[in-house]
Structure 1
Amino acid sequence: MYFQKVLKGVNALNDEDAEAYIIGGNGIVSNWWRAKHEIYNHEIQDQLTENNVIHHLNNYDTPLPANHPYASLGKTYGHVTPFISTTAGAVQRDDFYKTNIIFPAFITSLRFATDNFKSEGYIFYAYLITIQKKSVELVQFSEEVRELHIYQKYLPYHHEGEIVAKINIPAVQIEKAEKYDGPAVLKELKQFKRPSAIKTLINSNYADPLAYTNIKELI
């Protein structure tokens, strides 16, 4: 079992909602929970299926069929997904050039947070618990989708370094949130500077994983 550090980029999130995620103790909830408003334990188990994971990964923006049980709650699979995307970074191999290509978690989350450097958004710094095996049915453990030894089928977005959380990321597992302005970020990147946050929210109730063991850092 590992405590895997992750980043989560959220675009167009207002300051009040960002504060509610961490300071208010709400955590980050899945779109399914957000769409339903209220969920029950017996419903959670029905949502944690490998089929729903694949829809989350490969069909996020695909329209829901008319007969889908949650068609009234959203237009796409992403609108009603019980899973939450985060990134821990990725490495891919280029056989032709005989080199490895690194996709840093920070840059990936920046792209999501700012809609590819066009607007403002937040990056949340958190950690998830993984067990280096598929554990889709177990809500307490996250899926290491980026790990090719676990998820062996081809995934077009593998370079995003995804670690998939389930239902919600508790507030105590979120260390902080940083707000970024997309155009300003792009300007700094072109100058080979690390982008500066325009606002930082610190979670005073953060349960630091350094108090535990087996922590896996970001790439």
Structure 2
Amino acid sequence: MKAGVVGLIDGSLDDVSSFHNTFEKDGTEFTHSFQVRNTNHTTGGREVISGQAATQEVEDDTNIHIDPDTGDISVQDEPLKKGKYTDFVLVPDEFVAVGSGRGTFVFDILSYEHSVNGLNRSTIDLNEYAERYYTAENVDPWQVGFYGNVGNAEKGVVYGENVFSDDEIGEVLERSQLNQLGLQFERDGQIIKTTMSESGYVEIYQPSNFESEDYAEFILNDLTSFME
């Protein structure tokens, strides 16, 4: 797993194992499941747990009926029990990353099962992160999303090479809030290309051989100090 929405763990979550549970809500029975598939370690020795999770919930669904004799059409909204699924990567007492926004149900079921004080979708201070990293040697900011600028360009996304240094858009980016940031840089002989959002989404495009523990290490070393 090399992409996901990151949720920060507030409290102790250091005894993580597979579980599933069935419960009843408003007369309907639901099941959620959290299954650990692999346990690895970062180069710094931090435990990295990866696996799959699923849950059930009721969603409104539209039922359309066509009368075969008259052709009359009837449309009704009916509750339907559906499932959600996601992959996850977890570093005990630090964070959980899930495959997409639909997978954030994992934060709820872990909080429920482990009585964690808080496990919520993170936000990333991209302005502070960019301030520290985009001026560094061999770092190329190739994507920047911004908002809150006063002027003709109030918000948008800019793509290119070293966009902060551009004569036309550089000043706009400097005085705006950032909500997307893509960087490319070299580390340990590898080219790393990544993108991230203010709302806690982090994806690594390159290298293609990154494993879950590499993804977890990047978040731990580069991003958690800019997250809340």
What's the TM-score, normalizing by structure 2?
0.24
Which is richer in strand? 2
Structure with bigger RCO (C-alpha 8 Å, 6+ apart): 1
Flag the structure with larger Rg. Answer: 2
What's the TM-score, normalizing by structure 1?
0.24
Which is richer in helix? 1
